[in-house]
Amino acid sequence: MHSSSILVIYTGGTLGMQEGPRGLVPGHDIESRLRTALEALPPARQASLPAFEVVQYAAPIDSSAATPADWQRLAQDIAGAYSATDAGSPRYSGFVVLHGTDTLAWTASSLAYQLQGIDRAVVVTGAQRPLEAEDSDAPGNIEAALRFAACRNLQEVAVCFAGKLLRGAHTRKWHTHAFDGFASPNYPLLGELVDNQPVLYPSRGLDAQQRGLPRFELADYSSFEESPVVRIALWPGLSARLLKSWLLDDHVRGALLEVWGSGNIPADPALTGLLAQASGAGKLIAAISQCPHGPVSMNTYAAGQGLIDAGVLPADAMTPEAAITKLVHLLAQPLNDAERRQRFLTSLIGER
Ligand code: ASN
């Protein structure tokens, strides 16, 4: 029954970790460990799991070590499996990615840009405790992720954690160790487990025009020797001299500024002049708020007008993860400056 099979990809993370001499390290043989853990579920819950196959990366990682090259590889693997067929029908009806929690939100955001228009579910999950730990959250998270991945109406990249389903590009790691460890501060939940049944909330999935036909953009992130984008959170006393060393670095092609409140920076002509210089030189600079909730609106205060004049792009209520992965994604593609700016301001996968 391949046509209803879910492909599970284990990339690393605490979920599959085992004790090593210096602490937890990614473990092996995930498939049998995972099936053993799921066999401990009550029979009715086991019976509602979809059929699945498991692939484990040869060198699973702690997700704190993930880079854009890892995002690219995963998207390519999912795209490859997406087109696999068995007797003319798609071999996989959905995908579950098992990932470390530390940078899970970054990977989920990046996958959403690379797998635009996907008409099947890609559900990313992980755990705060390893599979075999007492009271681990891993079996429950995998169970929920598999069940959401089998929902035909879920057609986007989502994160499933602690019984909640969140849009991938709106997800943030919200707690260092609590089981309910992820939040979507600026977009409602896509779904939830209710009485142990996966429920998708109506009209929260991607609009038809953002879904449409699959139009994957598998850009080459490996062309960047190091990150082409820097992340700069303002702090009181930040000077143009300090900002300059990052912003005008020759390798830096984009920046995310995390500014004050509804979109302000200090009214310092040296700062705004520097931003104008960098954006005039073709660097893609965007701004979000340091407040976790709410969008930037840079024309509310005179102190924010300087950002607009300097060519800084408002990133609305995007998460830092979604904004930076989008900058990386746009910079990796053969677009001109105007096209990149226009695409940044357009919601591609419900990220803004
Ligand atoms: N350090 C781990 C990781 O991100 C944390 C986790 O998965 N809970 O791989």
End-to-end CA distance of the chain: 38
Length of the chain: 352
Q: Which residues does the chain have with pLDDT short of 50?
A: 1-2
Is 101 tagged catalytic? yes
- CATH level 2 (architecture), domain 229-344: 3-Layer(aba) Sandwich (3.40)
64 lines ligand 1 (CB under 6 A): yes
107/169 Cα distance (integer angstroms): 9
pLDDT of 70-79, one tens digit each? 999 999 999 9
Percent of the chain with pLDDT over 70: 97
191 in helix, strand or coil?
Answer: strand
Structure tokens that stand for 81 in this block: 């499996």
CA 331 to chain centre: 17
The predicted pLDDT at position 225 comes to 73
> Which among 179, 73, 93, 110 is positioned nearest to 323, based on CA atoms?
110
**CA of 27 relative to ligand 1 center, distance in Å:** 12
304 lines ligand 1 (CB under 6 A): no
The predicted pLDDT at position 305 comes to 86
Hey, which of 19, 67, 70, 101 would you mutate to test ligand 1's pocket, going by the most ligand atoms within 8 Å of its Cβ?
101
The reply to whether domains 5-209 and 229-344 share a CATH topology is yes
Question: In the chain, what are the domain boundaries?
Answer: 5-209, 229-344
Give the ligand 1 atom nearest the CA of 64.
Answer: 4
Structure tokens that stand for 84 in this block: 């696999």
pTM confidence score = 0.96
What are the distances in angstroms from CA 18 to CA 61, 133, 153? 12, 9, 36
- Superfamily for domain range 5-209: L-asparaginase, N-terminal domain (3.40.50.1170)
The predicted pLDDT at position 210 comes to 67
Structure tokens that stand for 262 in this block: 């509804």
For residue 314, count CB atoms less than 10 angstroms from its CB and return exposed for 0-12, middle for 13-18, buried for 19 or more. Answer: buried
The predicted pLDDT at position 1 comes to 42
What are the distances in angstroms from CA 133 to CA 30, 97, 104, 201, 278? 14, 20, 21, 32, 50
Give the ligand 1 atom nearest the CA of 26.
Answer: 9
For CA atoms 29, 31, 36, 40, the dihedral sign is positive
